[in-house]
Amino acid sequence: MKKHNLFSRIWSKALRKGTSPTKLVDDLGTLRGEFSYKKYDPKTGIVIAESKKVNTLVNQAKSNLVRLISQSESPWKGTIDPDDLRIQRMRFGNASQFGTPSRLNYYQLNEPSTRANIPLRQTGATATSFAGGKQSQVTIPGESGTTDTILDAYDSNWTPGPNDTKIYEIPTLAARTGYINPPSHETFVVKFYLSDVLVETLTFGEDGDGIVYTRSSSGIPPTQIETVTGKDPVVTPDDGNRDGGGITNINSSNEDQCGTRLFYDYTTGSTGWKLKVEEIDDPSGGRFDKIVMTYEIGKYNVINSVVPKEGYNDGVGTTELERYQGNSDWYPVISGSEYRDCDEDFIDDYSVTFSVNMTGPYGNGDTDVNLNEYIKYSEAFLFNGLDDMFSIVALPNPFDKNEGSAYYISWTILAPIN
């Protein structure tokens, strides 16, 4: 039997051929998930339908795997209890407009979300219905975008220049003590005004170029700086491209010349997301006096999509009592997860399967008991005991649920073989 040196092969593919070293991490850390369900009659137990779909493993899954094997103390989670990190819960949603899951998705009950829930239509219905499982809701609207304005932003005692910067808190986020989520990725825009006239706009990856706001020590530079025609540029680099108006695109070739950053401040007692501004040296005085920041909060938070186990999602509130009438919105994983070994290599536990039962009385929202109404489920989410999302799947065949149907749902996580 031919033996394969897995690490050697990945090293050769990822590094010797000149591709990014992050490919090495991807290959070593890849997991695959498979979601499936069986619909059965709650009275007879006869299986009526089946469906299977490969899921998306979100970024939080990688963090939890690292925490699980370290079992020490995380700066973000504190002391790690491995039992908390065990996969324990599933949630389900009925939104219609999110066919492609994102690795950035997560669940946070106490955070607003701009991710609205327009539900799938019930067959034969003339309009969308039962957003969050409530009859009177045809949609759960997402939160509107956030606008923070900083007046008197220029300090006459501040001497700007290539080595001088000023730090500004992001007011709405700063008001949340201990808040560690950034403005939603690719939504942060900063505008500088002088005497209420727009001078310059900074865009932080708004145009879908894959920019993710990380807590790196170097911070996140803007991807584009646009100066209004006839105005003097505000922030570095002073490259001449924006004198009197113009655009500077920030990339790997010039980002070191741009000292303006969205960054996470680790300073004890002053932690949080902030904006660092490096203004072009101006001996005559400030080039701006007001800063307006616009961004979204919770763009990837699935909270508005979830239909609870009992009751309905009211679309508002930051506690289970407010949002779910005090009911739990998750289904407990059945004890005794199923393991399987690998057929192709000497790996004992190659996969593990988690299962839940959505029985007749559960997951029906506020539908009518005459069974002419039902919820059309379109999304499923897998969690640990801390409500950190591990995986998400958009169902290719959404399933219908009322008291006359029940589902046995399985979620398998497989480790890489080769």
Helix (H, G, I), strand (E, B) or coil at 22: helix
pLDDT tens string 55-93? 676 776 666 666 666 666 666 667 767 777 788 999 999
Helix (H, G, I), strand (E, B) or coil at 353: strand
pLDDT band at 119 (very low <50, low <70, confident <90, very high): very high
**C-alpha atoms less than 13 angstroms from C-alpha of 342 in its C-beta half-sphere:** 13
Q: Which residue type is seen at 42?
A: P
Q: Provide the token pair at 396.
A: 């290719």
111/92 Cα distance (integer angstroms): 18
Higher pLDDT, residue 375 or 281: 375
24/29 Cα distance (integer angstroms): 8
Q: State yes or no: pLDDT of 322 exceeds 90.
A: yes
**pLDDT reported for residue 304:** 97
Average predicted confidence (pLDDT) for the chain: 82
**Distances in Å between the alpha carbon of 284 and those of 153, 156, 212, 239, 279?**
16, 11, 37, 19, 13
Q: At residue 171, what are phi and psi to the nearest 5 degrees?
A: -50, -50
Q: Which residue type is seen at 36?
A: S
Which helix (H) or strand (E) segment holds residue 179: the answer is: none
Helix (H, G, I), strand (E, B) or coil at 237: coil
List of residues 6+ apart from 158 with CB closer than 8 A:
164, 166, 286
Calculate mean pLDDT across residues 171-189. Answer: 88
Q: Minimum mean pLDDT among 183-187, 380-384, 414-418: which range?
A: 414-418
Q: At residue 235, what are phi and psi to the nearest 5 degrees?
A: -105, 155
pLDDT tens string 262-317? 999 988 888 899 999 998 876 566 789 999 999 999 999 999 999 999 999 999 99
**What is the pTM (predicted TM-score) of this model?**
0.83
**pLDDT reported for residue 267:** 87
**C-alpha atoms less than 13 angstroms from C-alpha of 152 in its C-beta half-sphere:** 3
* Domain range list for the chain: 30-142+299-414, 146-295
154/156 Cα distance (integer angstroms): 6
Calculate mean pLDDT across residues 182-194. Answer: 96
List of residues 6+ apart from 117 with CB closer than 8 A:
93, 94, 95, 131, 132, 139, 140, 304, 305, 313, 315
pLDDT band at 154 (very low <50, low <70, confident <90, very high): confident
Q: State yes or no: pLDDT of 26 exceeds 60.
A: no
147/142 Cα distance (integer angstroms): 15
**pLDDT reported for residue 412:** 84
259/309 Cα distance (integer angstroms): 49
Share of the chain above pLDDT 90, in %: 49
Share of the chain above pLDDT 70, in %: 74
**pLDDT reported for residue 268:** 81
List of residues 6+ apart from 282 with CB closer than 8 A:
160, 232
Contact 138, 127 (CB under 8 A): yes
